[in-house]
Amino acid sequence: MNLKLLLREPLLQFVAIGVVLFVVLTWGGTPPDPASRVIKVGGSERQKIAESWTLTMGRAPTDAELDQAVDAYVREEVLYREALRLGLDEGDAVVRRRLVSKMDLSASLAAETVEPTEEMLRAYLETNADRYVGQTAANPEVTFEQALFSSERAARNALGRGGTPGEATSLPALIKASPMRDVEARFGQQFADGLRGLSPSREWQGPLVSGFGWHLVRLTSRNAVPPDFEALRSVLANDWRTEQIAARKQRAYELLASAYRIER
Amino acid sequence: MAMHKAWITLGCVGVLATGLLACSESEQKVSAEKAGDGSNTIELAEFPERPYWGDTHLHTDNSVDAFGFGTRLGPEEALRFARGEEVIATTGAKTQLARPLDFLVIADHSDALGATRQLYDAPRWYINWILRDETILRWYDMMHESPEQSARAIGELIAAAASGDIPEAFANDEGADARTEDIWNTQLSILDRYNEPGVFSAIAGYEWTAMPDGNNLHRVVMFRDGSDKTRQTFPFPGIDTEAPQLWEYMRAYEKDTGGRVLAIPHNGNLSNGLMFQMTMEDGSPMTAEYAALRAWAEPVIEVTQIKGDGETHPLLSPNDEMAGFGVLGWEKGNLDLSQKTEPGMYAGSYARSALKRGLTLEQQLGVNPYAFGMIGSTDSHTSLATGDEDNFWGKHTGNEQSYTDRSMKVQNLGTREGRFGWHYLAGGYAAAWARGNTRAEIFDAFARREVYATTGPRMTVRVFGGHGFTSADWDGDWVRKGYSEGVPMGGELDDTGTAPSFMISVLKDPDGANLDRVQVIKGWLDASGEMQEQIYNVAWGDANTRQIIDGKLAPVGDTVNREDASYTNTIGAAELRTTWTDPNYRAGQRAFYYVRVLEIPTPRWTLFDAVRFGVTLSEEAMADAVAQERAYTSPIWLKPRS
């Protein structure tokens, strides 16, 4: 990773900004005081301005560009302090929204480039076993025959005769070792729910209702594959990452919120 | 006070340090199976067994306009949503697709990729004192002022791009290449992580966004390959380039990487006749070389999406009483409404007339530049690939569901009047007849045009063309017969001197509305070389009570309750199929045949909004609040034997 890329790394940017802020606010003396008429542009301020320039442009400024940016900074600082002196920051919805979204975004950036280790993912699977067991249980491989009827009575009559034949249809008569997800895509939710309620058997069962009519079904097998770490790995990593981002935002917020007493 | 702030800052640094530790292993690790094109990863069916459903045209917060319109969801959320996960929309509500999609192409604008986010995040002093551009500063302030002002700023930006008045700093943005490369590579990694052969295909692409004078010539560029190949290329800019340059770029990509790529034109309905011209871009006569390159690069067009439906216009198809779906509002002018549309322009804007023009050009040049298949997609700018009427999340974040009066709001881009929220459609989907769900199989279905468009519902439409198909074929293995003795949708038939016959099978959306009718739409060149079209009703529901009188099939009826936005499947049919032989076949004619399927009338998103949010629709909007959703298949062409 070259320096340019490194400088565009959001995490690094964030850390850099954080460190600068921390140093400035803790040891750097006073926070912006609207009453103060002194604007200091020393080495650390110039460095900060140069960093900010670099973040925006993707490269370091030339001396001339830095001088120009420092002038801009001074000018902005004057106006900023004047604005503070006039109390323009208070009760301004735009300022509020801008600051809030900036903080939220900063918290999420850090997690986006993170790659979890195998141990982390195994632990994640263990913690969320119920969810993944449920997901795989809801999507077993099924093998079944089906016959379609345009009325419930016709279906029941056929069941008495031993199942078939059904009416002519382009729906497949035999579905072989197909995940329930595919069955649901082709036959619809109502049918899939009905099929989940049946136990495998050599006999014709039903009728199950669908958007197409009434189906007799001979469900010969249903194999739910238990959740397997390797098979789930990428799903786990994606889910883990999504949760991390949400958790990070929340943690960042809670850290900040803990410094406040909230009266409701 | 100062100490208090210092603690807060320390807290932030603490959070960051945690992030840094977890971040030590930053290389993305994805298995070769997921990172490739999916070849040899799953067992494929002998023939395509089911259509796979997808959206090839979704924008995320990396798109210059989507971010400005307020979207804060990125590719990761887009992929999760398309796969069926619950996602929190930008405006705050939880949302989920009723049924997952099988594939997704994220198609962010290549121009100014990520630019509005970078602009938004920049310090104001930078814009004010370094860039020194009043327009950009104004947009910057509008973006920060409110969502409404931000949307307005983006409207202005699109209008500026359309008229070529983009501010210098935006057009010659020196950070653009690095930023685009960064976003493209990050996106390819995310796609690989969500790509799962057999379950979900996360397909690489982008949108090439040329719009001279506001005339929409946009294409979605779609790749077959995994990141090993797509990392070797770079989204091609739409500003200051023309379509033939895009095709050359595509050809170079294939040559350099051994990969495959295609382009999907969309919104010809907003091109003021420029999308499907009889000439080349510069107005000179079309050459065979140009026609061949275009036919190679663009096997499929996106015929229906949120910004209207481009199958045909009532003025082009006066004998088609079902013409004009999704035309209102969009027919008035080009993309930003900077130029009105004259009726003479329609023929170069709509798909059916373009297919007919293709026959004429083929007769002249020996190559048909407009031999395209058809798909639908969303063009959603919310990262949410929603195509269902009862779950419409808007064209962009400025008209997500939280804006409950969106249907009656003026929704024009820029500041000109003319289009309202209710003119938007809920968006369509693409169906691909593939042998399995991998990047390569889905792409190949597009390349051979074995795909079709729907305006959102998921009806299963299968068509085979051949010679001598009969109704008895339904009793046997008709799919095998269709493939072995004929061609599927998108294919070409030799003119053997006898009338072509077609096996057409349509199943309703299993969770949706019944079918009204199935039609074959034929276009041909008559003996004097004139372009002709004819609609044949070939199968319909309630056939015992509905007849064709004076060439028009009796309407199916209407069960929609306007008070509660409901309908019943008490009319129409769950399944329609037929074998149909062209009764007006003439030997030696150049012709195409495509199938159009209509559902029974159902509520549009506007009616759901009216009921859910208590919005009163205008008389005009109410008259359009119920519609017959539809599917358009890719054509089958009848070719004279050379």
User: Is A185–B53 a contact, with Cβ atoms under 8 angstroms apart?
Assistant: yes
The model's confidence at residue A30, banded by pLDDT at 50, 70 and 90, is very low
Q: What are the DSSP calls for B603-639, one per residue? A: E-HHHHHHHHH-PPPPHHHHHTSEE--EEEEPPEEEE
User: How close B89 comes to chain A (CA, Å)?
Assistant: 14
Query: What whole-number distance in Å separates Cα of residue B34 and Cα of residue B197?
Result: 7
Residues of A in contact with B539 (CB under 8 A): none
Q: Is B4 on the interface with A (CB under 8 A)?
A: yes
CATH number of A141-223: 3.40.50.2000, 3.10.50.40, 3.30.9.10, 1.10.510.10?
A: 3.10.50.40
pLDDT recorded at residue B6: 35
Q: What are the DSSP calls for B431-481, one per residue? A: EEEESSSSHHHHHHHHHTT-EEEESS---EEEEEEESS--GGGGGS-HHHH
Task: Tell me the longest C-alpha to C-alpha distance in chain A.
Answer: 98
Query: What whole-number distance in Å separates Cα of residue B426 and Cα of residue B405?
Result: 16
Q: Is the pLDDT of residue A25 over 60?
A: no
- Selected residues 419-438 of chain B with any CB under 8 Å from a CB in chain A: none
- Selected residues 514-533 of chain B with any CB under 8 Å from a CB in chain A: none
Q: Is B124 on the interface with A (CB under 8 A)?
A: yes
Residues of A in contact with B475 (CB under 8 A): 168
User: Is B122–A56 a contact, with Cβ atoms under 8 angstroms apart?
Assistant: yes
Residue B140's nearest CA partner among B109, B170, B176, B165 is B170
Residues of B in contact with A106 (CB under 8 A): 12
Residue of B nearest to A183 (CA): B50
pLDDT recorded at residue A188: 97
pLDDT recorded at residue B444: 98
Q: Which of A135, A170, A240 to mutate to test the interface with B (most CBs of B within 10 A)?
A: A170
Residue of B nearest to A213 (CA): B574
Strand order across the B487-488 sheet: B487-488, B460-466, B501-507, B575-581
The model's confidence at residue A98, banded by pLDDT at 50, 70 and 90, is low
More confident residue, A164 or B528: B528
- Selected residues 563-622 of chain B with any CB under 8 Å from a CB in chain A: 569, 574-575, 577
pLDDT recorded at residue A262: 65
Q: Is B20 on the interface with A (CB under 8 A)?
A: yes
- Torsions phi, psi of B568, nearest 5? -125, 150
Q: What are the DSSP calls for A49-88, one per residue? A: HHHHHHHHHSSPPPHHHHHHHHHHHHHHHHHHHHHHHTTT
CA angle B197, B203, B207 (to 5 degrees): 175
More confident residue, B422 or A79: B422
- Selected residues 161-180 of chain B with any CB under 8 Å from a CB in chain A: 174-175, 178-179
pLDDT recorded at residue A80: 74
Residue of A nearest to B98 (CA): A189
Q: Which of A114, A131, A235 to mutate to test the interface with B (most CBs of B within 10 A)?
A: A114
User: Is B145–A75 a contact, with Cβ atoms under 8 angstroms apart?
Assistant: no
**Quick one: what percent of chain A has pLDDT higher than 90?**
35
pLDDT recorded at residue B251: 97
User: How close A19 comes to chain B (CA, Å)?
Assistant: 7
Please report the ipTM that was assigned to this predicted complex: 0.89
pLDDT recorded at residue A35: 59
Q: How many CB pairs under 8 A join A and B?
A: 183
Residue B496's nearest CA partner among B585, B583, B584 is B585
Q: What are the DSSP calls for B521-587, one per residue? A: EEEEE-TTS-EEEEEEEEEESSTTT--EETTEEPP-----BTTTTB--TTSSBSEEEEEEE-TT--T
Residue B406, C-beta contacts closer than 8 angstroms, at least 6 positions apart:
B394, B399, B400, B421, B609
Contact B31, A234 (CB under 8 A): yes
> What is the bridge-based pairing of β-strands B429-434 and B50-58?
antiparallel
Residues of A in contact with B512 (CB under 8 A): 211
Residues of A in contact with B569 (CB under 8 A): 211
Q: Which of B21, B511, B568 to mutate to test the interface with A (most CBs of A within 10 A)?
A: B511
User: How close B28 comes to chain A (CA, Å)?
Assistant: 6
Residue B401's nearest CA partner among B391, B412, B411 is B391
The model's confidence at residue A9, banded by pLDDT at 50, 70 and 90, is low
Query: What whole-number distance in Å separates Cα of residue B286 and Cα of residue B273?
Result: 16
- pLDDT < 50 stretches in chain B: 1-27, 414-415
- Torsions phi, psi of A39, nearest 5? -115, 115
Residue A170 tokens read as: 């382009």
User: Is A22–B99 a contact, with Cβ atoms under 8 angstroms apart?
Assistant: no
Q: Is B32 on the interface with A (CB under 8 A)?
A: no
What are the start and end residues of each CATH 3.10.50.40 domain in chain A?
141-223
Residues of B in contact with A237 (CB under 8 A): 193
- Amino acid present at B56: T
HEC per residue, A90-147: CCCHHHHHHHHHHHHHHHHHHHHCCCCCHHHHHHHHHHCHHHHHHHHHCCCEEEEEEE
User: How close A40 comes to chain B (CA, Å)?
Assistant: 17
